[in-house]
Structure 1
Amino acid sequence: KLDVLASGYTPTKRRIEIIVLILFTISWIAAAINIRTVADGFTQNLGSSLVGFIISMFIADFLGGVVHWACDTWGSPNSKVFGVFIRSFREHHLDPQAMTKHDFVEVSADSCIIPMPFLVLAAIWRIQFSFQIELLLMNVALWTTFFVMMTNQVHKWAHLSTNKRPLVVRILQSMRLILHPQVHNKHHRPPFDKNYCIFNGWMNPILASFGFWRKVERSITKLCGVLPRADDADWTGRFEIDPVTGESVKRKSARPTGY
């Protein structure tokens, strides 16, 4: 199964990833320059940038969680359009360490696609109504897109052994400013249906407190008739779907995939 999934990473996909990262970098720099121009200097923008930085850490964690949940829960590697992205999520549940062998391009390029339009908007925006509000929104767009782009790299660091993680990464993890391995380990327990937020994990307890993911899943199942994680269950063989309730049930023999 792993060989089948790994073969889905084609030279064409690699070339597209490189182009996406180049476009993202150019757009991010253009947005940063535009914000400085609009703010008319560094000092004027400092407060807005700091507030935007903090807000963006929550937003990026949530957005990364939504994408993670969606690709873990629905579709298959054979799905049209999105199958090429879902492939890596199935591979990750079979072999969590596989991504530690991937370079920055393979790990991070896909994360640049969704936030790109917002980054382009921040690069061309001119103040229309309220200076402070719009400047803050531009800073939120700038930092959120950067954090979203870095989310899977942060995820990769959470899977590296301690001696392979850079010191600064270990410090940020210990401060819970980025995803800590202990927090992420909960996700890798079959049926892989918890702790989807993987930038810093701040949103995980908030969403879990009112059963956010299960409520959304039940709504989609009721509307479309599809069962959550059915394809993931087939690939991993570590849990099964109750046909009556639609709930994911851990197999008795299943154990955490671990690190």
Structure 2
Amino acid sequence: MSILPQHHHLQHADATTGHHHHHRNRRVYCTATPPNTRPKLQKLVANTTPVITQPKLDVDPSLKSTWLHRAWLATGSTTVVLSLANSIIGSIDSHIWLEPVLSGFAGYLFSDLATGIYHWGIDNYGDASTPLIGAQCDMALGHHKWPWKITKRQVANNLHLLAGGVTFTMLPINLIYHDQPVVMGFLGVASGCVMFSQQFHAWAHGTKSKLPPIVVALQDAGVILSPSHHVGHHTPPYKNYCIVSGVWDRFLDKHRVYEALEMAVFRKFGLRPRSWSEPDDDCMVEAEASPP
């Protein structure tokens, strides 16, 4: 609290003269300091309102791996490892090393060419009703409409069809040629690259910052398919069909190999490839939906 200033006229008598003296007016200020006070404390109330977050979208069931997919991948991988093991054991027994190594490199080159021809075929001919390869034709058509989906597909789901084909092909060959290291070297590397080519393909659609460093290093070295190379496959005139390394694409494009094959198929069977037609609305590329 405080006290307002007041004016006081002070007078006193001179003891000797008896006269009253008037002194000038003085102002006296009086203040009172209030006692220390503490701030009022309010009761802390916790906000119990639940925070609403955007639910995490689950993976599309069609992109998930099943136990059957994993079983096919396991059997396919086993046949590949068995082929390579037979090649190594045969090399030790025969005391030859250069020929199996060269045959393995030839198998690597062959796998890139084989995936290119096969990829061209299912991209341009066939559909879901095609015998034996209908599922892959359907996946190829879907991939060109939703290319980003392959990055969401789990590994065994992505590879099980090729793994099944490798299993049925390589098991009898392993039994017949198990003591031929050169043959086993060629077929072991070729079948392994063919089986995993779909994963190389998926990585080529991925973002480098999200890929394992070893994958990025192999892409940059040209050992497996790189995003910068494969992007030409999804833009007109739709080339670069090879999906192991893409090393054959320049040769195939320069010599118009696919165009020659398309003309041969058209003259023989009257079938027009999809690459000859303008893409319709059903085949237009759709971008991945951004999360809200």
TM-score class, shorter: 0.7 to 0.9
1:68 equivalent to 2:114? Answer: no
The root-mean-square deviation of aligned C-alpha atoms, in Å, is: 3.0
1:171 equivalent to 2:217? Answer: yes
2:47 equivalent in structure 1: none
2:188 equivalent in structure 1: 142
2:264 equivalent in structure 1: 219
1:160 equivalent to 2:206? Answer: yes
User: Residue 251 of structure 2: which of 206, 210, 217 is its match?
Assistant: 206
1:57 equivalent to 2:108? Answer: yes
1:93 equivalent in structure 2: 144
Structural mapping, 1:110-259, within 5 Å: 110-126=161-177, 134-190=180-236, 192=238, 194-229=239-274, 233-234=279-280, 236-238=282-284
Letter in 2 for 1:226: L
Query: Distance in 2 between the 1:150 and 1:189 partners?
Result: 24
Q: Which has the higher contact order (CA 8 A, sep 6+)?
A: 1
| Structure 1 residue 117: Cα displacement | 4.5
2:80 equivalent in structure 1: 28
**1:214-244 deviations in Å (ceiling 9; x for gaps):** 1111111111111101799456444xxxxxx
Query: Distance in 1 between the 2:272 and 2:168 partners?
Result: 31
Tell me the TM-score normalised to structure 1 length: 0.76
Query: Distance in 2 between the 1:47 and 1:83 partners?
Result: 41
Structure 1: segments with no counterpart, 5+ residues: 1-5, 129-133, 239-254
CA, structure 1 residues 141+124, in 2 after alignment: closer, same or farther (shift >3 Å)? same
Q: Which range moves more in the overlay, 97-106 or 19-28? A: 19-28
Structure 2: segments with no counterpart, 5+ residues: 1-59
Letter in 1 for 2:233: H
Tell me the TM-score normalised to structure 2 length: 0.68
Contact 2:144 2:283 in 1 (8 A): no
Q: Which range moves more in the overlay, 14-23 or 206-215? A: 14-23
| Structure 1 residue 78: Cα displacement | 3.2
Query: Distance in 2 between the 1:58 and 1:44 partners?
Result: 25
Q: Which range moves more in the overlay, 228-237 or 16-25? A: 228-237
SS in 2 for 1:40: helix
Identity %: 21
| Structure 1 residue 22: Cα displacement | 2.5
Letter in 1 for 2:248: M
1:104 equivalent to 2:155? Answer: yes
Query: Distance in 2 between the 1:211 and 1:151 partners?
Result: 23
CA, structure 1 residues 205+257, in 2 after alignment: closer, same or farther (shift >3 Å)? farther
CA, structure 1 residues 23+168, in 2 after alignment: closer, same or farther (shift >3 Å)? same
SS in 1 for 2:95: helix
CA, structure 1 residues 168+201, in 2 after alignment: closer, same or farther (shift >3 Å)? same
Contact 2:99 2:182 in 1 (8 A): yes
Letter in 1 for 2:115: G
Whose helix fraction is larger, Structure 1's or Structure 2's?
A: 1
Contact 1:73 1:228 in 2 (8 A): yes
Query: Distance in 1 between the 2:145 and 2:116 partners?
Result: 19
